[in-house]
Structure 1
Amino acid sequence: MKTVLPDSLKPLLVCASLFLAGGANAEETAEKPADAIAVKQISMELALDIARESVLACREKGYSVAAVIVDRSANVQALLRDTLAARFTTQIAEEKANAVILSGVNSSEFRANRADIKDEMNQVDGIMVLDGGLKIEAGGSLLGAVGVSGAPGGDKDAECAQAALDKLAERLEFME
C-alpha cells in the first residue's frame, strides 16, 4: 500500500530531509581537513598608521628612520621614510620585518635564539637578523611585521616600533 502525503506536509518533509542530510555532511566535514582557511589581513590604513607612528616616535627622539610594514607573507604593505633618513634604511627595515615573518618572533629574539646562524642568515636575500623588527598580532594571529631602521641601534628602532604598536593597540584588539 502506497502512502500519500497531503500537499501541505510535503514542504515540511523536504525541510526535514535537508536538515538530516546536512547533519550527516557536517559530521563528515568535521573529520576532513579544510579546503579553505580564513586568514586575517592587516588593512592598508592600519599598516600606514603603524609605519607613521613608528617614524614619528623616532623623530620625537631625534632619529630619522624608515618604517616598513609587511603582511604575513612578507609582502610590503606600507613604507615610510622620514625626510632625512638615508635611503638604505628602507631596505634594512624591510629585511628586519622579513626576519620576523621567517622566524615568527621579534627580530631581537630571533637573533638571540639563533646566534649560531645569524651571520649566515644575514646572507639570505631579503633577511637581516638585527634588532628593530616586531610582530604585528591580533587575536593570536600573526598579521605581519614592522621593521624600523635608522636610529643609532636596533634597540632604539625596536622602541619606536613598539611605541607605535602600543599607541594602536586598541585597533589591533578590535580585530579579534
Structure 2
Amino acid sequence: MNDIRTDRLLLRRWRGADLAPWAEMNADPAVREHLGDLLTPEQSAASVETFQAEFDERGYGWWAVEELATGTFVGFAGLDLVDEDMPFDGIEIGWRLARPAWGHGYATEAAFATLAFGFRTLALPEILAVTTAGNHRSQAVMRRIGMTRDPAQDFDDPSVPDGPLRRKVLYRISAPDKCHAGAAADSQAG
C-alpha cells in the first residue's frame, strides 16, 4: 500500500514513533468527547496493531496522518468495514486528529484523499460515515466532502449504553462519475 500525499499531509502506515502521540490523543477528553472512554496506552498500542493487521489483510484501513511540513503525527484517517452490530453494512470513512491539528482543514483534506482512494483504487460504489448526533464538527467535515444525511437513517448504536453517545447519524456519498472522480483524485499528489 502506497502512501497518499496531499498538499499538506501524508497518510501512511503506522510507525513505532506514532505510539506515544497516539496514546496522548486517546487520553485527551476533548479528542474522545464523542467516542467514549479514554484509552490507556496499552489499549492505544493494541489499536495500532489491529490497524496494521487490517491493512495487511485488506490493503486499506486507518492511515497515520503526518503534517508534511514538520513530520509531526497529527492523527489518523482512512476506511474501515462498518461494525457487524450496525443496522447497515458497507465501508466507513473516518478521521481523528490531535487537538493542536484542529481548525486547519486537515480532516477535510485527509477525507478528500481517502474518498479518492476509496472510489478510484478500491472502486467502492458508496462510502458511509457515522458519528454521534452531537458531533457537529465531524458532521461539518462530512458535508464539506459532499456527503449527505437522511435523518430517517439516524439510529441508536446497539453497542453504546444509553446516553448522549448512543444516538448516531449516518452520512453517505456515492461514487462520482468519471469527470468528478478525477477532480477528487487531484487532491492527492503522489
| Interval containing the TM-score (normalised by the shorter chain) | under 0.3
The higher radius of gyration belongs to 1
Query: Which of the pair is proportionally richer in strand?
Result: 2
Question: TM (normalized to structure 1)?
Answer: 0.27
